Chains A and B, each alone.
Chain A
Amino acid sequence: MEITKQDITQGIAAHTVFKFMDDHNIILSYVGDLNHSTTTSLLKNLQKTLQHLEPNVTIRKKIYNVMVECLDNIAKYNEKQETEKFMGRTAPIMFMFSVVSGLYTITTGNHLKNTEVPLLKENLDAMNTSDKTELKSMYRKVISDTLKQQDKEGGLGLIDIAIKSGGKFKYEFRQVSGVLSFYMLQIEINTKNII
């Protein structure tokens, strides 16, 4: 069988991806459509991986909690309609999970509308400058407000991630069109701060 130029290109790409994942200790990486069923399947896989990876049950539970909320967060902010128009296919999201010497990192990526960026950035900054007590008070306030307004969730997910991870958000918004930006969010869970 003849090896085509495309085979070689794909081979190089595969090796590049492999090397990148190996160098960065990436345990799981997913790019594709996100719906309730893919979320459930990703979480099952992550739960199994954590069983082997992390002996401490408390840490395992914490990481799992943060992961679920991260996936919910992508689903919440992912702008499907405009991204489909822009990319010409189902709006893909990105989820990456890595660990280096007790530092677990979750990186997520999705598209959102440019108009949503300022408020989200403001919220992320507010959480980054708050300590755990302030975050908990923020959490209670959002729950009280949503009870009164019958709002669905009101940004509770991000506050929950901030409380449970104990780390600061690293984020970036990269404008990709006049309508859309790519939103990258990184959350770290440092096991040394938990034990």
Chain B
Amino acid sequence: MNAMILEATNTTAKLVLDPTKNIFEISGESRPENTGKYFNPVVEWLNGYQNVLYFQKSNYGKSPKVSFKFSFDYFNSTSAKYIADMLTILEKYVSNGYEAEAIWVYDAMDIDMKESGEEFAILVPKLPFTYQPIND
């Protein structure tokens, strides 16, 4: 499956979905003009990646762990719905027997961002969720 890489803009986050390097990360600010246009392909990619995990597990007995880093400076409420979508897919990976986790990276000074992560974690109880504060 091809990597999906989107460079950051003033209003959209940087995205790296790279199965070869096993890097899954979204970072920066997210308030796209057309939220669906940005996130729908991401959601589609993540849904499709489950086939890759299935193939790897069936053929090699194990699939690589998907550690997805969510490292936002800011996201608007329209993006929140799609972030929940992404987390729900990761939770499905876990339910289907694949290894996955969410790493919620946030600025240690941004209490709202930490709390947002905690709210998402409640929505996906089967998905291991870890918090990673960073200091500037």
Contacts and interface: CB of A to CB of B under 8 A. Distances in A.
B80 A61 contact: no
A22 to B, nearest CB: 31
Interface string B1-37: 0000000001100000000000000000001010110
A84 to B, nearest CB: 21
B109 A153 contact: no
Contact of A156 (B77, B88, B107, B112): B77
Interface residues of B, number: 26
Given A153-B77, A156-B80, A140 B109 contact: no
B63 to A, nearest CB: 25
A58 B109 contact: yes
Nearest to A60: B109
A156 B123 contact: no
B77 A157 contact: yes
A143 B78 CA distance: 10
B33 A36 contact: yes
Contacts of A160: 77, 80
Contacts of B115: 136, 163
A21 interface: no
Contact of A65 (B85, B112, B119, B123): B112
A72 B31 CA distance: 9
B31 A58 contact: no
A40 B74 contact: no
Contacts of B84: 143, 147
B65 interface: no
A18 interface: no
Interface in B80-96: 80-81, 84-85, 88
Contacts of A69: 76-77
Contacts of A52: none
A72 B79 CA distance: 12
Interface of B: 10-11, 31, 33, 35-36, 74, 76-78, 80-81, 84-85, 88, 107, 109-113, 115, 119, 122-123, 136
Interface of A: 36, 40, 57-58, 61-62, 64-65, 68-69, 72, 136, 139-140, 143-144, 146-147, 151-154, 156-157, 159-160, 163-164
5 contacts: A61-B112, A68-B76, A72-B77, A72-B78, A156-B81
